[in-house]
Structure 1
Amino acid sequence: MVTAESYEAKGRSGEASAPRRSGAPRRKLLMSEIIEQAMRLFAQRGYDGTTLQDIADAVGLSRPNLYNYVKSKEDLLVAMVEATTQSAADSLREIRRRTDLDSTGKLRLLVRTLVLRRAEQPAQFRTLDRSDQALPPKIAEKHLRGRRAVLKEVTAVIEEGIKAGRFRPVDARVTALSIIGMCNWVAWWFHPSPSHPAEPVAEQIAENAVAMVAREVGRTPEAPTPLGAVALLQQDLDYLTRLLTTGNGEEGIPRDEV
């Protein structure tokens, strides 16, 4: 593992040399190490119980040298929020806007993307989740906006699938919250390894999400019975009622915290 000591020594004297990595400059590697150690300490001691000196010691830097990378603990929280919520929302928005995928394909890819992010950055997600109440107000608002944006994108794809007749007329927002919760929980229970990669888990959870909303094929007879037709009509009426009562054409847009 590349240590901060080798980086700092190289910066001071030029005698130590950090391993070369394609596309990963020295500063980016050390910044990743700083964030990783900060997340570990935040998880162990809490945000308020961790100092910049603690982080500097964990990385192996002097505190003055640490200031070359971060000026405050808030800088580290901003980096975590951008990596876990805002970046995720941007990725999901790109998927929702794709024209080469139908709603089923979009939902599958949305879920797969979220699961892989949680599996690859579990410490960042867990740290923010545990520290949510202790976040400084501006960062807490930034985090909340990112979470709402994620919910909005998933909800919009489910609404799209309902309107296209691919998904059952479910409550899109509640279903989106359920799916997001299923993805987020991966950060707590999944531990990837060479023999247990994240991709198959992401594929399975994506299929589970699609199964939650997809209209069942082959269950509706070509000539439905009167009672069967009434049941299908009632589903559509229930869905229409929810749209009318959510108000002003803003269905699917979250109105409170995720």
Structure 2
Amino acid sequence: MTEQAKAARRDGRPRRKLVMSEILEQAMELFAERGYDGTTLQDVADAVGLSRPNLYNYVRSKEELLVAMVEATSQEAAATLRAVRERTDLDPAEKLRTLVRILVLQRAAHPARFRTLDRSEQSLPAEIAERHLDARRAVLAEITAVLDDGVTAGLFRPVDTRVTALSVIGMCNWVAWWFHPSPAHPAEPVADQIAENALAMVARPEGRTPDAPTPLGAAALLQQDLDYLVRLLRGEADAT
């Protein structure tokens, strides 16, 4: 058990959320190490420093652990991104920057949860798998909507926003595997850099001038706009 969790238990501070977070972290580490089927609730209780009866005050089955993991990792992320997308005080560029930072910091803070959920996706019980899939679709939809708004506002190039959103999500997700935060290597600068990388993928050059001031360069910009218009029209046709 972490020192923070131990302190919360000692001094009587409200701790259910903190202890549940510790249970999830330990369970995800065990699932990653031994597999879901190879991990028992007793293993989880031992890792957290609780008795089996005390563990039942927080969770009563491994399936409940998976539900809590999906809620904390996927559904919470989708709800947070939706709140950012609905803000009226940010333009699409600032929204995209904020969304990316949120995803990166979440993956950096709880890599075991994310890795385990990703690896266990095919073996999740049907109901839990459906929740996870719905949340993933919601995350994709929120980022795609921000990209669409940016293209419409003229801030972003007329890219295929769904493919671009998937690329952005991939950059954020991979953090759970390669990044290991420490006092000397905090997550915030990494989140800032990845957010800037995401913006660089879609930013429209100042003035919309082609790289070379030639008729062919201007035609290339026009072709981008036409391609985007075709995708929009096809999307509307598919929706009818």
Same fold, TM-score > 0.5, yes or no: yes
Q: Which moved more, 1:51-60 or 1:69-78?
A: 51-60
Residue of structure 1 aligned with 2:66, choices 74, 77, 89: 77
Query: Residue 116 of structure 2 is aligned with which of 127, 132, 152?
Result: 127
1:1-258 correspondence runs (5 A): 1-2=2-3, 18-20=9-11, 25-217=14-206, 220=209, 225-248=214-237
Amino-acid identity (%):
73
The alignment yields a C-alpha RMSD, in angstroms, of 2.3
Q: Which has the larger radius of gyration?
A: 1
Partners of 2:4 and 2:214 in 1: CA distance: 71
Retained in 2: the 8 A contact 1:166–1:215?
A: yes
Distance apart, 1:181 and its partner CA: 0.3
- TM-score normalised to structure 1 length: 0.85
3-state SS of 1:47 partner: coil
* Deviation, structure 1 residue 31: 2.0
Helix, strand or coil for the counterpart of 1:139? helix
**Which runs of 5 or more residues in structure 1 are unaligned?**
8-16, 251-258
The Cα of 1:218 is off from its aligned counterpart by 5.4
User: 1:33: Cα distance to partner?
Assistant: 2.2
**Distance in 1 separating the partners of 2:73 and 2:17:** 17
- How far off is 1:44 after superposition? 0.8
**Structure 2 letter corresponding to 1:25:** P
Offset from partner CA, 1:109-156 (integer Å, 9 cap, x none): 111111111111111101101111111110010001110000000000
Amino acid at match of 2:158: P
TM-score by length of 2: 0.91
Give structure 1 regions of 4+ aligned residues with deviation exceeding 4 angstroms. Answer: none
Q: Does the 8 A contact of 2:25 with 2:110 survive in 1?
A: no
Could you list the runs of 5+ residues in structure 2 that have no partner in the other structure?
none
Inter-partner Cα distance in structure 1 for 2:15 and 2:84: 32
User: How many residues in Structure 1 have an aligned counterpart in Structure 2?
Assistant: 237
Equivalent-residue separation in structure 1 for 2:111 and 2:4 (angstroms): 21
Q: Structure 2 counterpart of 1:180, which letter?
A: I
Are the equivalent residues in 2 in contact too, given 1:104–1:166 (CA < 8 A)?
yes
